Structure 1
Amino acid sequence: MEKVVEMKGITKVFPGVIANENVDFDLKKGEIHVLLGENGAGKTTLMNVLYGLYAQEAGDIFIKGNKVSIKNPKEAIDLGIGMVHQHFMLVHNFTVAQNMILGNEPKKGINLDINKAITDTKALSQKYGFNIDPEAIIEDMTVGQQQKVEILKALYRGAEILILDEPTAVLTPQEIVELGVILKNLVKEGKSIILITHKLKEIMIMSDRVTIIRRGKLIGVIETKETNIDELAEMMVGRKVNLKVEKGDIKLGETVLKIEDLKVLDHRKIPAVKGVNLEVRRGEILAIAGVDGNGQTELIEAIAGLRKPLSGKVVLNGKDITGKSSKDAIEAGLGHIAEDRHKRGLILKYSLYENSILGVHYKSPFAKGIMMNYKEIKDYTKRLIKNYDVRTPNEEVTASSLSGGNQQKIVIAREIEKNPELLIAAQPTRGLDVGAIEYIHRRLVEERDNNRAVLLVSLELDEVLSLADRIAVIYDGQIVDILDAKDATEQKLGILMAGGTLKKEVEGGESRE
């Protein structure tokens, strides 16, 4: 089979870090090839070299057998390479069609031909079965739809080779299935696809071959049909990984979080949370399961003091924090692993040591009056980096210089080290590899076993089922049912998440909806 991409002996060095060391990679025409590795292993760096965002220190790139020098993304696009980044590059207040044509605008005389843009977008969307409205505004779309727009944008620019960076990190289970169908359709149309990921289950379903990179070096290339999840995990991390969460029996204590008839509006002033009642007790992990966009974000923001509720009550550790600030929530005993690490979890241009004390920066030993104790702050950050296995040259680098997974580890380390009474973990393993997921799951279970209350919000049903003691299913802003984890299955949760009900046996053998 023809090789459409060959990368030979690629080396890329950043100050203090060899990101790629003599790495070989190739992509055959019409295949889905996964680039697998831990956070910070050098996967995205290698693809950024192919896309012209970075220049390699050594090595050669061949496209369809011809040696090329790719100096910038425009040259990559001209060679038929398109890249969909983990954090999307869309203008949020533009329509789909406007985003599609940015930098490549069709003209009618001297005027922009927006009607042509709309027609072309519609035709392309229908050709690949994307079902996207060209006139929809990006900020009103789900993350899954936004991702489709990014893929369409690359196709609009003539991409034959598609690079998708962590494409399933922000998708619901249903959207992941949809993406799999889309990728298979693209391959049928003659496209060749590179997936950067560390989600082993999806690799087994979606890919033809897997290239494994560990700490910047090539570990091996393997045919997907000749391997399994356990072998891939071991090759990726360099040791056996326990993919099953080990958990002791639940020892319930008193209620830490009590929510009564909570109503919250979203950013468009439309009801998002519609009268939620919920309790989380010491010694348990209560998970909220639901399809993205059913009020989870607004519920968490109302608890964390990031959004004022319309009505209702939030009581944390015996203190009424309804409508109070996030500082008040932290003082009452809240730790919050935010679902969007860039928007809520980190200040990207701050150093790691500055990010590591956010929320407790005014307290001893980090501050004395208005003076900051930087020696103590840096020593503390070094301990977090070591204890939470954050891959970084040092504590001085900015948060933006870390890989997504390592950024997440800093957020998780900071929030757990606050010793909160209630830990909200919203999408805690989004964008993490199996080694890191194993570690984070263990830490969350430790928090539960240390008599803390944990509120887990996750789109990953595997994660919900393996971590939770109880599962509250949210649909259209309401808790539709709460199941004991031992009684829950993926099928039952799927029915409830789609707005259905479970048949329950009642006396006399009759059943009710």
Structure 2
Amino acid sequence: MSSATSVAADAPPAVVLSGITKRFPGVVANSDVHLTVRRGEVHALCGENGAGKSTLMKILYGMQPPDEGTIEINGEQVRFRNPSDAIKAGVGMVHQHFMLADNLTVQENVVLGAEWLHGIGQKARRRIQDLAGQTGLNVDPGVLVEQLGVADRQRVEILKVLYRGAKVIILDEPTAVLVPQEVDELFVTVRSMQEQGFTFLFISHKLDEVRAIADSVTVIRRGTTVGTADPKTVSSRQLAEMMVGSELPSPETRESTVTDEVVLDVAGLTLLTPDGARPILDHVDLVVRSGEVVGIAGVEGNGQTELVETIMGMRKAAEGTVSLHGKELTKLGTLARREAGIGYVPEDRHRHGLLLTQPLWFNRILGYQTRKPTSKGMWLDTDGARRDTERIVAEFDVRTPGIDVPAAALSGGNQQKLVVGRELSGNPELLIASHPTRGVDVGAQALIWEEIKQARARGLAVLLISADLDELIGLSDTIKVMLRGRLVADADPATVTPEDLGSAMTGAGATSPAVVEAGTHESGVRDAGQEGEN
């Protein structure tokens, strides 16, 4: 029994949002939103990107004021001018992108900005150690954050809000970068804290996880609440259809489209740390064939980002070669590699995929400034770029008031659809897709998956890097596990489970016949005609 059921019947809810409306120029982000969160429950908030979840949570956390509506905390109406007001009222937020300083210790990160509470010495240290037991963080407060894994960094973020006195904790996409075993550990922490009286608002796109952890679910669509569901009786598919407002297509089985034609050939690729002391990538060998999706699984920080950036020419390899259709690209720059036929969906769309202050049509040109339809010889073709942006907006369901709005005005999911649309529109030979659906909703996810599947069927070679193990299993023809800069294992998507992959990713080794040590068998091509959920 969750603590939500043990709270006194006459106790006021922990949070009540009534009639919340928030407008921005040309956009109504929230329209008459109602949300009630009981004390001691885990209340999930689901909706497509652009549905208004982030804006609503920013209002609750004091980052933005509502234009209309009221907020009640424990039965008392409040008005937050800033996050400090929300924290004083007992509301804390753990952001999806961790806000920690790697070069500071756990204690320094937790205390930073809250020195007035317990000082910065032994009193603060004792308080942190007391709270650490609630989150399951079993590390010395003097350890540098850069030495922690992803799951422990998340615990430090939770520790920060507890240290400031939060009793209502907003978790924004908390499982996005966790392996299944770490998700289980997080859920144990959440349930334990529930029993101690804490209340959680859980924002996630992973509906199976929502149903596993939540006591109730509120769905937002197009800026307004459309209903509350009981996770014990509603299916993931029903929740998804509530989110998008229509039925979703049923999963299809597809025959393998993998051919013998090698598109990408990476041989002995080695990348060293800036001081040359150790390898970040250690003699990586990798082949991707026409019509094949090769997935890379790994806990973040094990070299996946560096592998992609070295293949793209953004980092200089110490050894090894990168070839596309037999043509070596190792000495070429990034633009030349793109012109050779590589499409690139970057891990960080804001840093490497978009110019946020520029209009959508201008972002269509990025990476394609030397090719049609965005150029005519030496000159940019702005009319061509505008026409093709209109096409991408229509074909990839990019929800926008128009192509002249800046990319920053779009939700994360619509930004991602714009990037994917641009990269597939270049008719690449190879698509490198790094976390292509991270932080996007089920509707955008389904569209991106379908576009990748269709391009694969046309012969596109795809290198897929993802922290979403279900995505890797569902899209890949073969999966390779990366650990400490090496490809250490191969997995068969037809039989492997997320738990199997999680074990290999964390260094536990192959615990299933579906995962074998790299190099012990011929991997990368499924038998002709074999079907799978690809």
TM-score scaled by length of structure 2: 0.88
- Larger deviation: 431-440 or 478-487? 478-487
Task: Find the counterpart in structure 1 of residue 510 from structure 2.
Answer: 501
Equivalences for residues 236-251 of structure 1 within 5 A: 236-242=243-249, 244=251, 246-251=253-258
Task: Find the counterpart in structure 2 of residue 45 from structure 1.
Answer: 55
Aligned length: 504
2: CA distance, partners of 1:480 / 1:113: 43
2: CA distance, partners of 1:458 / 1:21: 34
Q: Give the conservation status (yes or no) of the 8 Å contact 1:173–1:460.
A: no
Q: Give the conservation status (yes or no) of the 8 Å contact 1:7–1:25.
A: yes
Code of the residue aligned with 2:105 in structure 1: it is T
- Larger deviation: 189-198 or 397-406? 397-406
Q: 1:104 to 1:352 in 2, by over 3 A?
A: same
Q: Are 2:390 and 1:379 aligned?
A: no
Task: Find the counterpart in structure 2 of residue 125 from structure 1.
Answer: 132
2: CA distance, partners of 1:30 / 1:502: 38
Code of the residue aligned with 1:338 in structure 2: it is P
Shift, 1:40, TM fit: 0.4
- Larger deviation: 64-73 or 24-33? 64-73
Q: Deviations over 1:358-395 (max 9, x none)?
A: 11124344245665433332332222222211222222
Q: Deviations over 1:119-162 (max 9, x none)?
A: 43333223421234433444454443332222111111110111
Q: Give the conservation status (yes or no) of the 8 Å contact 2:177–2:300.
A: no
- Larger deviation: 429-438 or 481-490? 481-490
Q: 1:293 to 1:449 in 2, by over 3 A?
A: same
Q: Deviations over 1:263-308 (max 9, x none)?
A: 1235675322211111111011111222322221211111111111
Task: Find the counterpart in structure 2 of residue 83 from structure 1.
Answer: 93
Task: Find the counterpart in structure 1 of residue 175 from structure 2.
Answer: 168
Task: Find the counterpart in structure 2 of residue 93 from structure 1.
Answer: 103
1: CA distance, partners of 2:185 / 2:352: 29
Q: 1:420 to 1:266 in 2, by over 3 A?
A: farther
Task: Find the counterpart in structure 1 of residue 201 from structure 2.
Answer: 194
1: CA distance, partners of 2:262 / 2:377: 35
Q: Are 2:261 and 1:285 aligned?
A: no
Shift, 1:483, TM fit: 3.8
Q: 1:355 to 1:490 in 2, by over 3 A?
A: same
State which of 323, 327, 338 in structure 2 corresponds to 1:319. 327
Q: Are 2:307 and 1:299 aligned?
A: yes
Secondary structure of the structure 1 residue equivalent to 2:232? helix
Code of the residue aligned with 1:44 in structure 2: it is S
Shift, 1:6, TM fit: 0.6
Task: Find the counterpart in structure 1 of residue 454 from structure 2.
Answer: 446
Identity of aligned residues (%): 44
TM-score scaled by length of structure 1: 0.91
Q: Give the conservation status (yes or no) of the 8 Å contact 1:61–1:67.
A: yes
Task: Find the counterpart in structure 2 of residue 276 from structure 1.
Answer: 284
Code of the residue aligned with 2:475 in structure 1: it is L
Task: Find the counterpart in structure 2 of residue 228 from structure 1.
Answer: 235
Q: Give the conservation status (yes or no) of the 8 Å contact 1:37–1:433.
A: yes
2: CA distance, partners of 1:498 / 1:117: 32
Q: 1:145 to 1:358 in 2, by over 3 A?
A: farther
2: CA distance, partners of 1:490 / 1:9: 41
1: CA distance, partners of 2:382 / 2:242: 40
State which of 32, 35, 49 in structure 1 corresponds to 2:42. 32
Q: Give the conservation status (yes or no) of the 8 Å contact 1:302–1:323.
A: no
Q: Deviations over 1:145-186 (max 9, x none)?
A: 332222111111110111111222232223222221121122
Task: Find the counterpart in structure 1 of residue 115 from structure 2.
Answer: 105
Q: Give the conservation status (yes or no) of the 8 Å contact 2:271–2:280.
A: yes
1: CA distance, partners of 2:399 / 2:239: 21
Shift, 1:423, TM fit: 0.5
Q: 1:115 to 1:267 in 2, by over 3 A?
A: farther
1: CA distance, partners of 2:199 / 2:93: 12
Q: Are 2:433 and 1:433 aligned?
A: no
2: CA distance, partners of 1:182 / 1:225: 20
1: CA distance, partners of 2:217 / 2:512: 43
Q: Are 2:267 and 1:260 aligned?
A: yes
1: CA distance, partners of 2:314 / 2:252: 31
Task: Find the counterpart in structure 2 of residue 508 from structure 1.
Answer: none
Q: Give the conservation status (yes or no) of the 8 Å contact 1:121–1:134.
A: yes
Q: 1:299 to 1:236 in 2, by over 3 A?
A: same
2: CA distance, partners of 1:445 / 1:224: 31
Secondary structure of the structure 2 residue equivalent to 1:226? coil
Q: Give the conservation status (yes or no) of the 8 Å contact 2:134–2:192.
A: no
Code of the residue aligned with 1:28 in structure 2: it is R
- Larger deviation: 118-127 or 435-444? 118-127
Secondary structure of the structure 2 residue equivalent to 1:486? coil
Q: Which runs of 5 or more structure 1 residues have no equivalent in the other structure?
A: 506-510
Code of the residue aligned with 1:447 in structure 2: it is A
State which of 215, 227, 234 in structure 2 corresponds to 1:208. 215
Task: Find the counterpart in structure 2 of residue 145 from structure 1.
Answer: 152
Secondary structure of the structure 2 residue equivalent to 1:356? helix
| Superposition CA RMSD, Å | 2.5
Code of the residue aligned with 1:393 in structure 2: it is P
Q: Give the conservation status (yes or no) of the 8 Å contact 1:92–1:137.
A: yes
Shift, 1:214, TM fit: 0.5
Task: Find the counterpart in structure 1 of residue 225 from structure 2.
Answer: 218
Task: Find the counterpart in structure 1 of residue 360 from structure 2.
Answer: 352
Shift, 1:410, TM fit: 1.9
1: CA distance, partners of 2:252 / 2:465: 17
Shift, 1:344, TM fit: 2.5
Task: Find the counterpart in structure 1 of residue 475 from structure 2.
Answer: 467
Q: Which runs of 5 or more structure 2 residues have no equivalent in the other structure?
A: 1-8, 515-519, 522-534
Q: Give the conservation status (yes or no) of the 8 Å contact 1:309–1:323.
A: no
Q: Give the conservation status (yes or no) of the 8 Å contact 1:250–1:469.
A: no
